[in-house]
């Protein structure tokens, strides 16, 4: 009886572990990097992503995704991902944003646009403090408030074990 119970537990553990994803997000091939901004504008930062100065990549592999969505051939499984953006300024949390609707991806490698995450909009938002409001009036609405920024972008698989390594990038606005 003990052998049968052990075999069942072993098979269940093997099955749960087999349904997994592993991968990473990277910016210009790195999981952690520092950006050199020539301009303190969120629009300019978006432009640099669009022009290819900064390339955001997402890659993952999946093992034995039983019960997941698939294409018409039944060979390629789709994994849904939740996208998360964390923006910090001078070590303090500015905003933590999780996209409401998960996005589906087949296993593989993808180039992502900056708009897949919410850091550009967060950097360009109207600040709440009076001092920050005065600073923006001088430089326009897309001006990034001076400080040292840390931005972490991550994706979390829905319904699968494993994970995707996040990407973190830093920059300073004077």
Q: How confident is the model at residue 136 (pLDDT cuts 50, 70, 90)?
A: low
Question: Alpha-carbon distance 103 to 173, whole Å?
Answer: 32
Question: In the chain, what are the domain boundaries?
Answer: 20-173
Question: Residue 124: its pLDDT value, please?
Answer: 82
Question: Residue 6: its pLDDT value, please?
Answer: 41
Question: Residue 160: its pLDDT value, please?
Answer: 85
Averaged pLDDT, 121-133: 66
CA distances from 5 to 1, 8, 17, 18 (A): 6, 5, 18, 20
Averaged pLDDT, 143-172: 94
Q: Tell me the fold of 20-173.
A: Immunoglobulin-like (2.60.40)
Q: What's the half-sphere exposure (Cβ side, CA atoms, 13 Å) at 64?
A: 7
Averaged pLDDT, 127-155: 74
Whether the pTM exceeds 0.85: the reply is no
pLDDT surpasses 50 at 44:
yes
């Amino acid at each position: 009886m003990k052998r049968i119970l052990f075999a069942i537990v072993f098979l269940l553990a093997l099955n749960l572990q087999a349904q997994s994803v592993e991968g990473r997000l990277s910016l210009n091939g790195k999981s952690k990097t520092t950006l050199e901004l020539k301009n303190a504008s969120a629009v300019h930062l978006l432009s640099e992503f669009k022009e290819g100065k900064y390339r955001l990549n997402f890659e993952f592999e999946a093992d034995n995704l039983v019960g997941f969505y698939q294409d018409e051939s039944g060979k390629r499984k789709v994994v849904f991902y939740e996208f998360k953006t964390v923006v910090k300024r001078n070590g303090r949390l500015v905003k933590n944003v999780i996209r409401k609707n998960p996005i589906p991806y087949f296993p593989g490698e993808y180039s992502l646009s900056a708009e897949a995450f919410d850091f550009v909009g967060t950097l360009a938002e109207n600040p709440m403090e009076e001092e920050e409001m005065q600073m923006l009036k001088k430089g326009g609405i897309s001006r990034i408030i001076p400080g040292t920024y840390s931005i972490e972008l991550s994706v979390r698989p829905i319904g699968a074990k494993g994970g995707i390594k996040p990407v973190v990038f830093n920059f300073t606005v004077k």
